[in-house]
Structure 1
Amino acid sequence: MTPDAAAEAVGEALALLEGRWKLRILFNLFGGKVLRYSELERAIPEVSQKMLAQQLRRLESDGLVRREVFGEVPPRVEYRLTEWGQSLCPTLDSLLQWTARRVPALSGASEASVAD
């Protein structure tokens, strides 16, 4: 794969995660969790109902989240990650570890520049 093709492919993958709330939704569903809409609302209290619904619909259309509607009164809707969505967990975990290594590297860089 050429560098341009690789950059484009990674850009497309990152575009799936764009949006202020998508990562918060995904992290709440990792580990096989199944949550109702109201549970996601409580887990992410800063998000509006409209935005939560939009982000869930987008994650569903992108194949990361599965929405299941139960024909009950009142209606019950549950969300879970698809197998493909769950497979993103190790990648995001690696990104977390990579980010954690940045902070000590930055402190070392600033100390080195102060010493010069």
Structure 2
Amino acid sequence: MTDQTSTHFYVPIGEDEREICLGPEGSVAHVSRVVRMIQGRWKLPILFRLYADPSLRTLQLKRDLPGISQKMLTAHLRELAEDGLIERIDFGEKPLRVEYQLSDAGRNFLPVLIAMRRFSLKHPA
């Protein structure tokens, strides 16, 4: 009987099957892209704050995330918007009025984060 570890179920070991997992469009590339989307000290706190409220202005996010600089908040909001996890709503008013809210992709990402939390609870460091 052959020892079949879980690796064999997820990482194809045949030469012609490796592209599925390790190729430029394979599983590793897709998971790495998602990890990059949430990388950064403040991205997850921003997302979780937006899960709690349907839309927030920049000033409210800054108040709710003690320690974040305006520069870092702006950079992370821009990156999250570019990655499609949040939407920037510009009301076109003077003075400038902008709000941020989760996009459909951002709302669909919540179960992934919940699964990551469950994994962390079951596998303490």
TM-score by length of 1: 0.82
Kindly state the Cα deviation for residue 31 of structure 1 after the two structures are TM-superposed: 5.0
- 1:12 is the counterpart of 2:33: yes
Kindly state the Cα deviation for residue 75 of structure 1 after the two structures are TM-superposed: 2.2
**Paired amino acid for 1:92:** L
Find the aligned partners of 1:26 and 1:85 in 2 and give their Cα distance.
Answer: 8
Find the aligned partners of 1:53 and 1:31 in 2 and give their Cα distance.
Answer: 20
**Structure 2 counterpart of 1:87, from 97, 104, 108:** 108
**Paired amino acid for 2:78:** R
- State the identity %: 38
Find the aligned partners of 1:82 and 1:96 in 2 and give their Cα distance.
Answer: 21
Can you give the 5+ residue segments of structure 2 that lack an aligned partner in the other structure?
A: 1-18
Q: Deviations over 1:30-87 (max 9, x none)?
A: 1562111111001111110000001101111111111111233432210001001110
Q: Tell me the equivalent position of 1:3.
A: 21
**Paired amino acid for 1:28:** R
Q: How does 1:88-103 map to 2 (within 5 A)?
A: 88-103=109-124
Which gives a bigger RCO, structure 1 or 2 (Cα 8 Å, sep 6+)? 1
Can you give the 5+ residue segments of structure 1 that lack an aligned partner in the other structure?
A: 107-116
Find the aligned partners of 1:15 and 1:6 in 2 and give their Cα distance.
Answer: 14
Alignment RMSD: 1.6
**How many residues align structurally?**
104
**Paired amino acid for 2:20:** T
